[in-house]
Amino acid sequence: MNRVDRRIARLLPAPYSAKTKIDSNNVPAGGYRIERQGTHFLITAESEQSLFFGGIRLLEEFGFRHLIPGSSGRTLPTKKRAPSFKVIAEAPTFLYRGYHVCGHSHYNQNAVVWMSANRMNFKPCHNPEVPQDLPKLQKNFLTTICFGHSYAEWIPREDFFKSHPDFFPLIGEKRAPSGGGQLCFANPRLKEILEERIGRFMDRFPEVKVISFMPNDGLGWCECASCQKRDTVLEKKQKKVSTRVFGYTEEIAKAVTKERSDRFLGTGAYNNYSDPPKDLPLMKNVAISLTTGARCLKHAITDPSCPSNREYLARTEAFTKKTGMVIFSEYYFASSWRIFPLPILTSLRETYRHLAAIGVKGVKSEVVPGSAWDPLKITLYGVARLLWNPESSIEEIYKDFTFHYFGKKWKVFFDFYYGLEEALQKMPGCFFLKKQEALPLFQHLDLHKVYRSFQQAYTEEGDPVIKKRIRTELSHLKVWEEVLAKLATQEETNYPVAPGKPSSRDGRASFELTERASLLPFPSRVYFIAGYDDKGLHLRFETKTKEIKRLQKIPFTPHSGDVFLMDGIELFLVAGKPGNDYFQFAFSPAGHSYSSRCTHKPLHFDTSFQPDIIVKNSFPSSQWVCEVTLPWKVFNRKKAEKGEVWHGSFCKKERRKLSHILGGWPSGGAYHSPKEFGSLTFL
Ligand SMILES: [Zn+2]
Ligand SMILES: [Zn+2]
């Protein structure tokens, strides 16, 4: 018995039995063939992974479903539903179907098991995660392909800057004066080193078909004559670098895939290299992850009435003609939409059908494991089914999920969830996963009535597992009601900055930071207070928490950017009206202090700016108090005048077991979004 046989045998009810056979005859490419011989089933496929998916498909005929991650999210096969088919022969529409797991380690066992039980076949990784993650993925019949910023992984500054400063970008007169930045492509020795390193990595992991070679995050492009010669005249004018980036990627790809023809170099279309390069020929062994950021998810990508999707469609079509593999990278979890259901399967179905037709090879989305999965569960389940077969009916997907998940009174839940799917399609305009859009989406509903019908279902249900699921639904409804009420009230977006350095309870205004997705308080409630004097702007953040010991134990590290890996306060400020330039600061309980000068479009951070900021952390009675003084000099000012109005946003990150919570003021935090900053009026 092989390991797939064992897995199936464990779940298949008696008297049925199954056997698997690796064979590519008679089997649709990438799929499986299941043949019934009385009470025995023979599954044939060309790989172990496809055999496993065939086994899953067979078990589904007996009622097996893995609906949400974790063993309590499964329904087990029963004899009652003996199948009547003779042969099932199926293959997936997309070659790559997977979720990118957000959170601390980019790995979550429950999510991985769920993915393989829903016939998704990969979890994306960053190159350095492959040695650790690939064996765990393979145990679950999954594989990986790699994307993500990676120049610095191949050519680390600490290893090469001393011996080869010319590998690093020439900016102004100097070779990369600060950290970050890209590579200089002029020296042929760099290419030799890259080819050698990437080739060696490919040989070490022959199962991983795509290895990442993508520019570092941010800008910092080389200004030397040789690099600039790679840009077209138009690109020089528009400060874009597509031809340079993709041209060089193709040169490396050609070299490393000469004797490894089934492999790809993975890169992204991003920032100022998001346009396809016009003058380059087909890049056969380049794979591209096309990130879609803030696209409208109510309309299909082909919907001519949607202005938001047009540019994504044009870019996707262009890249499928330019590169050997396009992976469409979506965001079905948005920091501002993760407590409400996400009824977007109608538009996704159309989008996937078109992507498949134009030759897109895969689709992935970011997901957040743990409790954040639950409100989005039907969408995440439906995506897996649509990526296997985008012809599936949306109504059937909702029926299938609610029938297997909610027991006897499943219809009540079907009506509610499928009703939202229909309501979104009827809603005017686009849908960008902004929490305010929940108001029109829920408008047609009487949540009290829904609550009563769910409660009725709860009373009538006997199965304790299903009862627990319905209890979760009831608690969702409570939260939705509370959040909708919050969303309907006007938030105070002007903070009055009174003279003097603030201390606790000195009578000045104290505003609460709220969770980004819900506008509800953080589990550890957090407030800010501001004041000013001759020295500068004083800010005081008070976090009331049960986790004071954990916060006090966070270790200090010399790299200030580490603040983004832990609990921290983050602020965005402009001394005046918001525009393209603003400051970002971040502070941790361990004493990290991060500052950068940012531009909004393109998004860029200059961290060489190191102002003298005074930060004091203290931990009086179950509180973390972070006091910050930003001297006027930081903003190139002598002082703020009475009556003057500045703009900014104060944010907080609270670490939870599997991921973290973001939030802030105003509107749950206006991260890097100057347009949404609140105002600070100096009294
Ligand atoms: Zn250069
Ligand atoms: Zn739209």
CA of 348 to the centre of ligand 2 (A): 12
222 and 86 both lie in a single domain: no
Residue 63 · residue 55 · CB < 8 Å? no
138 occurs within a structural domain: no
Cα–Cα distance measured from residue 569 to residue 585, given in angstroms and rounded to the nearest whole number: 8
Q: Does 98 map to a domain?
A: no
331-351 residue pLDDT tens: 999 888 989 999 999 999 999
State which residues form the domain around 677. Answer: 494-682
609-621 tens-digit pLDDT: 788 999 999 999 8
**Strand pairing of 264-269 and 210-212?**
parallel
pLDDT on residue 179: 62
Cα(260) to centroid(ligand 1), Å: 29
Counting ligands in written order, the one closest to the CA of 433 is 2
3-state secondary structure of 345: helix
Q: How crowded is residue 373: how many other Cβ atoms within 10 Å of its Cβ? A: 22
In a domain, residue 162? The reply is: yes
pLDDT value for 620: 93
Buried b or exposed e, range 455-477, using 16+ CB within 10 angstroms: eebbeebeeeebeebbeebeebb
Q: What is the pLDDT of residues 167-177, one digit of tens each?
A: 999 988 888 75
Same domain (yes/no): 453, 539: no
At 253-283, the pLDDT tens digits run: 999 999 999 999 999 998 899 999 988 889 9
* Interval between CA 226 and ligand 1 midpoint (Å): 6
State the pLDDT at residue 279. 85
Q: What is the pLDDT of residue 136?
A: 97
Tens-place pLDDT, residues 398-413 = 999 999 999 999 999 9
d(CA 135, CA 138): 5
Q: How many angstroms is it from 594 CA to the middle of ligand 1?
A: 29
Ligand with smallest separation from the Cα of 183? 1
Distance in Å, CA 492 to ligand 2 centroid: 30
Query: In angstroms, what is the span from residue 174 Cα to ligand 1's centroid?
Result: 11
- CATH number, domain of 632, equals 2.60.40.1190
Cα of 146 to ligand 1 centre, how many Å? 26
Examine the domain organization and report whether 539 and 446 are in the same domain: no
The answer to whether position 542 is within a domain reads: yes
Ligand 1: centre distance to CA 167 (Å): 8
Q: Which residue has the higher pLDDT, 396 or 608?
A: 396
Please tell me the number of Cα atoms within 13 Å of 554 on its side-chain side: 22
- pLDDT confidence of residue 177: 59
In a domain, 291, yes or no: no
Q: Are residues 580 and 560 in the same domain?
A: yes
**Residue 571 covered by a domain:** yes
Claim to verify: residue 524 and residue 636 sit in the same structural domain: yes
Distance 160 CA to ligand 1 centre (A): 15
If one counts the domains in the chain, the total is: 4
pLDDT in tens, 413-440: 999 999 999 999 999 999 999 999 999 9
Q: Is residue 182 part of a domain?
A: yes
C-alpha 298 to ligand 2 mean position (Å) = 6
| Interacting residues of 508 by C-beta distance below 8 A, sequence separation 6+ | 496, 498, 502, 529, 530, 531
Q: What is the pLDDT of residues 533-586, one digit of tens each?
A: 999 999 999 999 999 999 999 999 988 889 998 999 999 999 988 888 999 999
Q: Taking a C-beta distance cutoff of 8 angstroms, is the pair 594, 585 a contact?
A: yes
* Distance from the alpha carbon of residue 437 to the mean position of ligand 2, in angstroms: 13
Ligand nearest to the CA of 190: 1
Q: Which of 426, 459, 488 corresponds to the end of one domain?
A: 488
Is the confidence at residue 293, as pLDDT, over 80?
A: no
Neighbours of 25 (CB within 10 A): 7
| Residues 576 and 652 both lie in one domain | yes
Q: Is 421 exposed, middle or buried (0-12, 13-18, 19+ CB in 10 A)?
A: buried
Amino acid identity for residue 58 in this structure: L
Reported pTM: 0.92
CA of 166 from ligand 1 middle (Å) equals 8
CA of 451 to the centre of ligand 2 (A): 31
Q: In this structure, which ligand is nearest to the CA of 347? A: 2
Token pair 């890259």 is at which residue?
194
Residue-wise pLDDT tens digits, 50-102 = 999 999 999 999 999 999 999 999 999 998 877 889 999 999 999 999 999 98
Distance 239 CA to ligand 2 centre (A): 29
- Residue 584 and residue 673 in one domain: yes
- CA of 307 from ligand 2 middle (Å) equals 6
Helix (H, G, I), strand (E, B) or coil at 432: coil
Last residue of a domain, one of 441, 473, 488: 488
What share of the chain has pLDDT > 70, as a percent?
99
**Alpha helices by DSSP H, 358-430:** 377-388, 394-406, 410-426
Q: Is 192's pLDDT higher than 80?
A: yes
In this structure, what CATH number is given to the domain that contains residue 65? 3.30.160
Report the pLDDT value the prediction gives residue 178, as an integer from 0 to 100: 64
Q: Are residues 186 and 223 in the same domain?
A: yes
Q: How far is the CA of 582 from the centre of ligand 1 (A)?
A: 29
CA 399 to ligand 2 centroid distance, Å: 26
Query: 30 and 50 share a domain?
Result: yes
Regarding whether 658 and 549 lie in a shared domain, the answer is yes
Q: Which residues pair with 89 in a beta bridge?
A: 33
141 CA to middle of ligand 2, Å? Answer: 36
**Whether residue 159 is found in the same domain as residue 16:** no
430 located within any domain: yes
Give the ligand whose atoms come closest to the C-alpha of residue 187. 1
Residues 469 and 529 in one domain: no
Cα of 355 to ligand 2 centre, how many Å? Answer: 17
Distance 228 CA to ligand 1 centre (A): 7
Where among 431, 456, 488 does a domain terminate? 488
